[in-house]
Amino acid sequence: MKEKDPFQPSSYVNKNADVQSDCLAVAWDHKGEYLAASYGNGDIKIMLPSGRKHADCNIAAQGAEGSPTGCIKFRPPVHDHDGGIEAQAKFNKKTLLSVTCDGIVNHWDCSKGVLQHCMVVPNQSFLAADFACDGLQFVVAGSDSNVYLYDEATRELISTMNSNGVKIPGHVSRIFCTKFLPDDRNLLLTGGWDRTVKLYDTRVGRPVAQMGGPQICGDCIDINGDEVLCASNR
């Protein structure tokens, strides 16, 4: 009996989708109900695991005029700082964050395919984004090697994080991935072209640790307990 290839998918999600461009990023929501994919022409498709596209699921980066949408992230369930659910009622449960190479940051209501909020940052090229584990903050990063921390409720900038002239420097090239720790709203990992993965602490606004090695060129850092998984270009 032929052994099954462990890397062979058991089923396809929307295999025959009318895709006209390269896929740059994918993201599952936290319940595994929605799968989002973003493309080089700015399109975003929301699909169901059954292979059926959801109603009104094709959305395009508002104002991007075909600019590549390089990163998408679903917002996790929103909790207040004490771990309660008081803040959750204020937020839509199926919100998707997307960033483009033209400095556009969009929030989408995926259940309706409707744009919630659009923010354009001049002279920026955003390549990475992520939500904190409590859903109350998010970061974006890209070509200028800074990490920008925002408040999710107001969508206003909290801080711009880099080295601040201390022992551990910030990135010196493009940042392609940002990943908050799943159990700590204050800590996130970042990686990019400069072959370093840095641990940022949002409370001090700078990196507090780093490790060298992977040249990261996409949304390819994940965390499992004390282990960090990175995909390197070479």
Give yes or no for residue 1 having a pLDDT over 60: no
* Paired tokens of 73: 């992230």
* Paired tokens of 79: 């909790």
* Segment 62-74 mean pLDDT: 77
Share of the chain above pLDDT 90, in %: 44
Assign a CATH topology to domain 19-124: Lipocalin (2.40.128)
Partner residues linked to 181 by β-bridges: none
Nearest to 131 by CA among 110, 112, 153: 153
Q: What is the pTM of this model?
A: 0.84
pLDDT confidence tier of residue 19, bands split at 50, 70 and 90:
low
If one counts every other C-beta atom within 10 angstroms of the C-beta of residue 198, the result is: 24
Q: To the nearest whole number, what is the mean pLDDT of the chain?
A: 82
Q: Residue 89 has what pLDDT?
A: 53
Nearest to 100 by CA among 133, 131, 127: 127
Measured distance between the N- and C-terminal CA atoms of the chain, rounded to whole angstroms: 36
- Between 147 and 92, residue with greater pLDDT: 147
Q: Where are the domains of the chain?
A: 19-124
* Segment 190-210 mean pLDDT: 92
